[in-house]
Structure 1
């Protein structure tokens, strides 16, 4: 079955380029120009992934993402001409899996879509018990399954975005080691040139919140002033 992609993009030239590239890759793409149309499509025929332009005539992609996140962990990628760091951080804090700044290569967008969908599918299989038991790379109640590209907390899979997973996995592989922000930027965001060390801080904040939701009261991810972050062993 072909994967369904929801594309919210009001610039027809950009939309046509992405439509051609995605359809050539075998995706079933539904293109809309307005935020309300995107939410209507999501409600009627939920896609497998959403590509959301940040600026559209009747609102913005951030609002669409907020609405979707109330009920769904649908993979979301933002498309935007905005280069400001605060916009990138906001998009990631809202739960986006990736953030692509215009001008971009349609082939690059397709590659990112495929990678996110592969990880999402692997995670669903793992949740259903289709993958082998995790090979432990663990700290306390956290266990990293490298093959499934998922992390469990107290035996339950964590719902993580792409970069949340990569950041937590990096810390899990070397518990107690202090990683500087620049090291984490290189290890986790090496392929995303429009990011800064504030992106690391934003993702640490999001991870801490998700871990607290799972009942971890103490801060598992430790801050070392002027040095960086580490994962605390129990």
Structure 2
């Protein structure tokens, strides 16, 4: 019996769901399925999944809408499945909070590798975080602490729930305090893609990151600074 991370596979084509299920179960993942956006959203909100594979084009609610609704409640890692040529939809996916995308037709082995990679860096899959007796990779500021070994962020002592991509963006900026990064550089370093997309993807994630931090600590949120006409930086505050 499989005992690994639990994954929700969402696609309106049964053959694709069956193919993904077969390959993922070989890796000891527990697979649940949904054939449309409405069912997917219901399952995603009622259950705790380690990752969701979500097709964009579906009858009823599409993948963009489903992702947007999930992000209002949860930080579950999401990989979007998109047909070739749907670049606009991929950009929209990043803007609403998806963490990665795979273009159809895809290799099932590629899907498995992407799933493994996202689970490793996902805060919601502690099975893939190395447990260490002494935490070494920790960045500490006055109002914000980033524990990279545990993929955990705390603001004024309270844990902040972030998606994997929000976490990566914050960690990347915080590693180089006061250094300004333009949006193109952030897309390359955080999203790991060279694609002709809307740079608002970065703006959207920064906005969402600030909102989550500000709910707990206004001081922590203010550390992410907009440099007008250039990009963003992480500014260390002097209390």
1:178 is matched with: 180
Per-residue CA deviation, residues 184-214 of structure 1 (Å, 9 max, x unaligned), is: 2222122464655332222212112112212
Work out the number of aligned pairs and report it. Answer: 231
Structure 1: which 5+ runs fail to align? none
Change (3 A) 1:172 1:70: closer
**Equivalent of 2:150 in 145, 148, 151:** 148
**How high is the TM-score relative to the length of structure 2?**
0.80
Aligned to 1:17: 19
Q: Are residues 70 and 131 of structure 1, via their aligned partners in 2, closer, same or farther at CA, if it must alter by over 3 Å? A: farther
Deviations 1:87-110 (A, max 9, x none): 334323433232333233322222
Match of residue 100 from structure 1? 102
Distance 1:166 1:70, change over 3 A: closer
Segments of 5+ residues of structure 2 without an aligned counterpart are none
C-alpha contact 2:135 2:149 (8 A) present in aligned 1: no
RMSD of aligned alpha carbons: 3.0
Please name the residue that 1:220 is paired with. 223
Q: Is the 8 A contact 2:7 2:52 kept in 1?
A: yes
Q: In the alignment, does 2:217 pair up with 1:208?
A: no
Measure the CA separation in 2 of the matches of 1:34 and 1:151: 34
Aligned match for 1:31, one of 30, 33, 41: 33
Provide the secondary structure at the position in 1 that maps to 2:185: helix
- Pick from 124, 137, 142 the counterpart of residue 139 of structure 2: 137
Structure 1 length as normaliser, TM-score?
0.82
For residue 84 of structure 1, the aligned residue among 87, 103, 117 is 87
| SS at structure 2 position matched to 1:59 | coil
CA–CA separation in structure 2 for the residues paired with 1:153 and 1:34? 37
User: Alpha carbons of 1:109 and 1:224: their partners in 2 closer, same or farther (altered >3 Å)?
Assistant: same
* Cα 1:228/1:10, change in 2 over 3 Å: same
Decide which of 48, 51, 54 is 2:50's aligned counterpart: 48
Separation of aligned partners in 2, 1:186 and 1:44: 34
Change over 3 Å in CA distance of 1:17–1:124 after alignment to 2: closer
Show CA shifts across 1:34-73 (max 9, x none).
2233244446654332211112122212333344344433
Residues 135/22 of structure 1: CA separation in 2 closer, same or farther (3 Å cut): closer
- Which 10-residue stretch deviates more, 191-200 or 162-171? 191-200
